[in-house]
Structure 1
Amino acid sequence: MSKSPYTPEFRAKVSQEYLDGVGYYGYISAKYDIGKKTLQQWVAKYRIYGIVAFVHKLGNASYSSDFKTMCVKAVLSGEGSVDDIVVKYNISSRQVLRSWIKRYNVNRELKDYDPKREVYMAEARRKTTIEERKEIVEYCLKHNHDYKETAHIYDVSYSQVYSWVKKYDTNGEEGLSDKRGRHKTDDEVDELERLKRENLRLKRQLEEKDMVVELLKKVKEFERM
């Protein structure tokens, strides 16, 4: 799993500020430019596990099929919400638990997760809908292009995720359509379409640069604390 831009120490510090009454969720979220929902999850985990909750990540955690099933049933039986169960069992993220629930609801096997298992070579490529591909790409982009983790969570191959993200970067949602035949290159389309593609590529590059700049600002601010 890719490293979070927020260190365990930072997340613990922010959570403690809330518990100390420094401010409400909205105030602290704005102060550190983090999502309100993210902050609520940090605080909930920190209450129970302390800073340890932020040290153990998906990359070094093993989830057995029985554990996954137990957590899914806990949500479906009303024992708690997704967020409640994530906190109670210290699951790495709500997206991980949601992926287990999706698989369980469509009668797909919840397999043991061994962090040593590679997903670069998938056993088989399953069919996906355009909606699934959009969700998969969105998750991958929000998690620092972590193709491996995304492939594991959504039960697809590493190469599939990589291909969809690249197609999305080049052609937007249209690139995720499961079309027959070869996609036309820039040289094979008219001038207007070529300019549209180039504009989209430049927009993506600028967005990524802005993300990097903001991340560097946050790192420098944290280092000054």
Structure 2
Amino acid sequence: MLYNNGKEPVRKRVRKMGRKVSYDEKIEIVKWVLKHNHDYKQAAQKFDITYSRAYAWTQKYEQANDWTALKDRRGKTRGRQPADREKQLLKEIRDLKAKLREREVQIAFSKKLIEISNREVKRPNDIKRFKK
């Protein structure tokens, strides 16, 4: 009984890791694809990249109609710095007010905790566990 009708099984291709492509190379590849009537397969062979990468970069460019769409935006980005000294001071004031509110809540909570723990004292001669 033959499961594959006498044909030899096809060996699986080992996928190789894609090479790193710079921003300028991406622009060159997309220009080539657009010039050659969206021939992604030919571009993949010519530039040693995958079909899907050529297709994705071309689509990104066509949707945004801007070359900056091809830039790699992964990784950490630095936080935006306040434009001038006044904005920086306003941000610092907001941060300090937030810290102050947090401390006030902590103090109110600890006072309430002391009050609740002192309710359990039945006789005045008992030693209180917490001081007010």
TM-score range, shorter chain: 0.3 to 0.5
Q: What TM-score do the two structures reach when normalised by structure 1?
A: 0.26
TM-score (structure 2 length as normaliser): 0.43
* Higher helix content, 1 or 2: 1
